[in-house]
Structure 1
């Protein structure tokens, strides 16, 4: 612990930074402060001074409030609680919803401009649901400490805090959440609320071999209860529509070697297939064998659709190194949809995509920095960004989803 940790500072907050914190300066040094917003004057306590270039601090009192500050949507995460007792997962809950989306837009645009050289507006759209951004989470993980107490982790820590409510969760999850109970010996619980079948509770890290059904429009998707699915109740439909719209129909070739990378149980491959018809050829690539099994079933309506269990980087590397001339031609006419994890696709995947040279890419991202890094590399390798949309899939948090379309120049 450094000599400044614990010191209290009065700070004028100037800007938003990636990661749900805000920027100010103290005696020339950058300080990243949580639980505030631009235009506020706060008293903050230093919690990390290990870096030469910046410190980190927690707001402990608001001296001059922004007009965009609101009563926190989650009482147990509010600034009037001690920082170590504030529940994590709602770090923007003290900011009115419209301002939250404006801040997310700013973070998206700044990172794209700085890292990718892409200078264009990226509006962030609200999803259907309550205006205050509550009631949307269909997946929640609660942890249990060594005494069996159940709750979320405190913000920026792995310490369990007990809470009386989960306002971001659906009503179904709130009804089955074991808040106030003890689970001795357990790691925690997963709470899921699929669009069919009602909310349920699973041991943390397990799915008990149970399959569930999620409905998106008129289509149903089977997946393991503990498997990945979009968390916001309206996210799957929103992203399916966004990806379908982002594909340039004049460049799309149903007979080409189209790919859905990090394909999960086939949600976005199905969105492409629904737009372009049952003869659409598309291969979903996913590292989880169970998800691939479900994708086979979920994509059965398209005679040219298939699902492959493979790591995306290795799959593309093999294609780039061994594809025949005819296969390369089909790949170059192809459309690639990719929805990587928060860390992004990364340099190996981008390098292989650039070598294969598909006609268009549809990149779905949940991290602005990873998106900007990968788009920058793709632009340097002969692609042009033709459209960008942002979506507020995670209200009352700093997270934001984006869908980018790129074409080969």
Structure 2
């Protein structure tokens, strides 16, 4: 994920300026999980999409938070409103996995009551290598179930060279954007998982050291609704109370290229994520299929990160159009790509923009589209059938798909297969350590 993203995710893609109106966000119920549900002893079987594990009780599926496959736990039922499954929170570990560790965020530990656990670090109790293995299992399972693809996947850690100050072994110190909430007494903290309950905290271990230093977690912010912490690569860290809708400009630096964007606009959260994805997209493009004079596209393009990556690999003669629904992001993309004569940025919902493109395309344009490389970085919900069908109808030479949700990616890959495009390469990256989120980059080409 699911990725390109705003001052806070969610992750996640694990969470991109770019398509604020098109990118899905995880919704949270207004009520906290039940605190008086029955307590069950459960044998945890496997991991599920969404950061929870799967167990069974009298034939019913129970999704269990804060557990690891292979463990035996006592878990309190937090939601029994569905007939097919229940949700539960681990309250005691009876037989622990060898991969269980002290939680990376003490305020999210299983030692706390579930309603007092900070949300946003649902894998923090798991050793890092096992976290990545579990994310790979989820992606592998999604590919099999929704795309009919049997494929081994390895989730790669972020190269430390792109993430100074990040503790890769602990999975901490990586978040350059954090949103905290304020309760009615002015106390600040994250929400509890699946809740709008604010959990006051004393630490923010996933945040960069610069943000930890300015967080003011013990202060009271009476009358405020939220606190944003932002640490751009090209400026000083900031604490912002109730961030305005129209925010000042900041600058991010990625692989020698500078991007301007709104402070409240979408950007990759992990300190090394933008560089990781830019390099992965560059690597995913098959140079033999790339034509710099074709009608190359960067869809859901945000402020131009991936279009810039394409230009940086193939040179300033590249023709590429970035399409983004958010007008402010499009303006920034135009400025960020202005050094390349053949680069353009257009505002539009991708589905409607493609519809207009198809309707107005003459023979010459269709030939240029058939030689094109199309990069797409859709919201968490994925591109969807309509967009996939329109893209396949353009018959591009190759597509590079950046995904922040494994199930949405797999569904779209399955649809692409139905329209004649097959998966050639796939890489996955752990851009949201200590959460369940995972990002993937895939290349698709037309079936011969």
Runs of 4+ in 1 over 4 A off after TM superposition: none
1:84-99 correspondence runs (5 A)? 84-99=115-130
Report what 2:100 is aligned to: 69
Change (3 A) 1:142 1:217: same
Q: Determine if the alignment matches structure 1 residue 58 to structure 2 residue 96.
A: no
Deviation at 1:205, TM superposition (A): 4.4
- 1:122 is aligned, of 129, 137, 153, to 153
| Cα separation, 1, equivalents of 2:331 and 2:150 | 41
| Cα separation, 2, equivalents of 1:228 and 1:195 | 14
Aligned to 1:13: 44
Cα distance in structure 2, aligned partners of 1:150 and 1:5: 26
Q: How many residues align?
A: 409
* 1:101 corresponding residue in structure 2: 132
**What residue in structure 2 maps to residue 248 of structure 1?**
286
Q: How high is the TM-score relative to the length of structure 1? A: 0.97
Change beyond 3 A, Cα 1:154–1:304: same
**Residues 270 and 299, structure 1, Cα contact 8 Å, conserved in 2:** yes
Structure 2 length-normalised TM = 0.89
Is 1:233 equivalent to 2:288 in the alignment? no
Q: Is the 8 A contact 1:263 1:286 kept in 2?
A: yes
Unaligned runs of 5+ in 1: none
SS of alignment partner, residue 250 of structure 1 = helix
1:4-23 deviation line (CA, Å, top 9, x unaligned): 97011000001000000000
SS at 2:99 equivalent: coil
Q: Does 1:290 align with 2:341?
A: no
Q: Which residue of 2 aligns with 1:211?
A: 249
Deviation at 1:202, TM superposition (A): 2.1
Shift of 1:325: 1.7
Q: Secondary structure at the match of 1:363?
A: strand
The whole-number CA distance in structure 2 between the counterparts of 1:370 and 1:18 is 11
Correspondence for 2:64 among 2, 27, 33? 33
Does 2:183 match 1:145?
yes
Q: Do 2:35 and 2:115's aligned partners in 1 also have CA atoms closer than 8 Å? A: no
Which structure ranks higher in relative contact order (CA pairs < 8 Å, sequence separation ≥ 6)? 2
> Using the alignment, how far apart are the partners of 1:117 and 1:183 within structure 2?
51
2:306 aligned to 256, 259, 268, which one?
A: 268
Ranges in structure 2 where 5+ consecutive residues have no aligned partner: 1-30, 161-165
